[in-house]
Amino acid sequence: MILPGLESLWQKAEDSTQFINWLAEKVRTRNWVALLMLCFVAAAVLLNPVSIKALYPWLMGQELPEDFLDGYPWVYGVLLIALFLSALILAIRAKAREQEISPIDLSERSAVKGLWSFTY
């Protein structure tokens, strides 16, 4: 087994740090669309039936029961559809909220009501 080079380890550490900073920024700014899409991708990769068949023996130390995946593809599909539709609905609502907020025209308003200017 060949150990990875120092440059390779450095690059992986930098990539991991950038991902953690990106994730922290999304949580801090409450960007739920990006977080839901991240959950969607993670579920699509880690929870698909092929991954479950490969990861279960490694994680649990025993073989996957034969009847375990009988209804699992349906549950998996419903989970992915729910995550995707939730992200889509949140994105639509966020865009609608951005369009509702219009800049206020402050030229017609006085800073203090009843205040007269010094030049009559």
**Other beta carbons less than 10 A from residue 113's beta carbon:** 6
Structure tokens at 75: 């549950």
**Type of residue at 11:** Q
- Whether residue 86 contacts residue 43, with contact meaning beta carbons closer than 8 Å, is answered with no
Q: pLDDT for 16-41, tens place per residue?
A: 999 999 999 999 998 999 999 999 99
pTM of the model: 0.66
Domain limits, the chain: 31-99
The mean pLDDT value of the chain amounts to 84
SS3 content of the chain, % helix, strand, coil (to 5): 70, 0, 30
Q: pLDDT for 37-71, tens place per residue?
A: 999 999 999 888 888 888 888 888 888 888 877 88
Query: How far, in Å, CA of 92 to CA of 61, rounded?
Result: 44
